[in-house]
Structure 1
Amino acid sequence: MFTESEKWVNLEDIALHLSVSKDTIRAWIKKGTIPYTRAGKQYKFKISEVDEYLRKGKLADDRYTDV
């Protein structure tokens, strides 16, 4: 049975989804507070995983938000 899997999005897409800058996403990556994977030199994200982190409050750090 075929089930459609969630697509990976890039850094720009996840920044738009969260309404933050790309620099904020990079800071979260460096700090290890956002789930991601690497595909070569690119960062890839699953929106559902990032949303779950957000719901759990794991991205709540005022020093790195610009909203």
Structure 2
Amino acid sequence: VKEICSYMGVSSDTVYRWVETHEMPVHRMGRLFKFKISEIDAWVKAGGANRKPQKGNSQ
């Protein structure tokens, strides 16, 4: 998470919020989050970082 925060220039709270609302592409390996830079770049280009979270979209 620290590395993706640094890459994107956002806080860890922001990344966790995006992951929690199922907007940000992430792969879970146990307790670890793995991010593919190509997926993150495509998500940002598609406007994923600007979308408002949908209600009822959390686990």
TM-score scaled to structure 1, two decimals? 0.72
Deviation at 1:39, TM superposition (A): 1.1
For the pair 1:19 / 2:9, whether they are aligned, the reply is yes
Q: Given residue 18 of structure 2, which amino acid in structure 1 is its aligned partner?
A: W
Which residue in 2 is equivalent to 1:65? none
Q: Percent identity?
A: 33
- The structure showing larger relative contact order (alpha-carbon pairs under 8 Å, at least 6 residues apart) is 1
For the pair 1:53 / 2:7, whether they are aligned, the reply is no
State the Cα RMSD in Å: 1.7
Structure of larger gyration radius = 1
Query: Once superposed, which parts of structure 1, at least 4 consecutive aligned residues long, lie more than 2 Å away?
Result: none
Q: What is the number of residues matched between the two proteins? A: 53
Find the aligned partners of 1:39 and 1:13 in 2 and give their Cα distance.
16
SS of the residue corresponding to residue 43 of structure 1 reads: strand
Deviation at 1:56, TM superposition (A): 0.7
Find the aligned partners of 1:61 and 1:12 in 2 and give their Cα distance.
22
What residue ranges of structure 2 are gaps of 5+ in the alignment? 53-59
SS of the residue corresponding to residue 35 of structure 1 reads: coil
